[in-house]
Amino acid sequence: MILWRHIPILLRLRMELGGVFCTMLLTFLFQSCSAYTDLYTSIGQMTDLLYTEKDLVTSLMDYIQAEENKLKQVKKWAERLDMLTTTATQDPEGFVGHPVNAFKLMKRLNTEWGTLESLVLQDMSNAFISNLTVQRKYFPGDEDQIGAAKALMRLQDTYQLDSNTISTGNLPGVRYKNAMTVDDCYELGKIAYTDADYYHTELWMSQAIKQLEQGEESTVDKATLLDYISYCVYQQGELERALELTKELIKLDPEHQRAKSNRIYFEKQLEKQRGETVREGEARRKEEADARRANDPIPEKKKYEGLCRGEGIKLHFLAQHANNLLPAAVPRSLCLFTALLLVMKRIPAARIHPATSLLMQSNIKTSWTGLGKLARVYSRRQKRLFCRYYDNHRHPRYLLGPVRQEDEWDRPYIVRYHDIISHSEIERVKELAKPRLQRATISNPITGVLETAQYRISKSAWLTYEHPVVATINQRIEDLTGLDMNTAEELQVANYGVGGQYEPHFDFGRKDEPDAFKELGTGNRIATWLFYMSDVAAGGATVFPDVGAVVWPKKGTAVFWYNLFPSGEGDYSTRHAACPVLVGNKWVSNKWIHERGQEFRRRCSLGEEDRGLSPPIPRSLGVINPTHFRL
């Protein structure tokens, strides 16, 4: 793969050697780079931009050095002539009376000043400008800048981060902290404003003011920021506060025409509101409240974002850590769930897992009897979750070297395989996928046309059996699942971008999508296998909002679940999402396995009792204690 960082080398080669060959090579390179669009949707491709910028900085430093060398020569010339002319003008006749001085004066004015003029007029920027001109064609565009800005605001909402936390760069898992300037905050606010997103506009313009007041220098003044904030506050229904902000703006800039007009308008609107009858006021407030509720995120989105923050219940965590958390004073007859609620108020916060912390923070208003019933349900469910060494019914490839399998969830049944793909395999898959990465698309449910969407921010590539590593991986999936890969889709590799995510969706085709996979002729997607090919510093979990399951990325592992019941009915509890990546680079690859070819591998059952049951737990070499191997 030819990367952008190679462009300057080839450009210099062309300048030095010329010829048709280099021209053809550059043309080929530029055509191959034209596929690099939507750069913000793939962190993997964005890394090439760092090499591009590094080369531009090197080119710029070379230009500066050339200019400094030129100025050094000019300065040396000027200093020498300054001393000479100072001496000569003290006794002009005596100085010129010397024949050597007279000759050198003629020579300087006739020849050397012309040479100096050529030196001063020499343009040292040609190489830098040529390099910049070539590479500018492959710079991110407005869409990328806007996409990255919206990603920051999406992360802000999903992970409930205040503007100052983002602006100062104090994010969890950060290795290379970088702060935002006033201009950065202002630009973010303007992008939100253009989108009529007055909530985020206010947040980021206010953050810009905060940094200005802390002494940071900027070309943006406070009056400009207040102009935006006052209007956004008005649009959010806070009329009195909008008026106060407008008055503050007029104090800073008494000649601000829009502010003076707005003050008059706001005062009239407030006077009108004060004149309303009580009934009219109540009706207006009810109408405004209804409008706000209509614009509120749907409940699923709230659940999804809560799970992304780690506000979920991990069933086997409760079992694994209960003995460490329960003091001897708590009766064993008291259920696990109730005991945790009692104990968590008596242990340091640092010892509490985020998933468990939710139980303490949740405002559960119920009786001890109700808690006991709920705890018994979770206790029964967690007893179904185990870790095991797994050989898939004594499969020859895993008889002597079984894999480590962990139950992540019971309904739907989700299992994780540990150390199932090696680092070298991961790097080879990424190497094969990078040149083919394209913006991930979704199928329009109405038109069926593939299109991009803001709720899926990633780039993906499809890998066939052309390389041995892909064939090996596909065979491994078949060996462990017992399902036929001949009718499965190609291995899809995905790399998420800035705030990369994929909001809640189903992998299988629903009843209202009868033609979802008709062109493949392989039936519905019966199961999903998902490899995690990188660790993620913060965010990036796979969540199942309907059941509260959260699966965190861990490099080298894979998760597997069935999308369909044995009856062929879709399991709607498998609706899942990829949470936004807060910090880090998330690489995954997945295999969608289809119905055809599985008739004798996963037998169909038409009984009504099979419609709501999870697949049975596979046979293994025996259940073992989770502490027997490190997860």
pLDDT-based confidence at residue 625 (cuts at 50, 70, 90):
very low
CB 48 within 8 Å of CB 4:
yes
pLDDT digits (tens, 9 = 90+) for 527-542: 999 999 999 999 999 9
Those residues whose C-beta lies under 8 Å from the C-beta of residue 439, and which sit 6 or more positions away, are: 37, 38, 41, 452, 459
Mean pLDDT over 134-154 rounds to 88
pLDDT-based confidence at residue 350 (cuts at 50, 70, 90):
very low
Distance CA 171, CA 165 (A): 7
Kindly report which listed range (235-244, 299-308, 318-327) carries the lowest average pLDDT score: 318-327
pLDDT-based confidence at residue 1 (cuts at 50, 70, 90):
very low
pLDDT-based confidence at residue 136 (cuts at 50, 70, 90):
confident
Distance CA 273, CA 281 (A): 8
Q: Check residue 519 and give its pLDDT.
A: 84
Q: Is the pLDDT of residue 300 over 70?
A: yes
Which of helix, strand or coil describes residue 587? Answer: strand
Cβ burial, residue 228 (10 Å; 0-12/13-18/19+) = buried
Mean pLDDT over 332-336 rounds to 41
CB 455 within 8 Å of CB 502:
yes
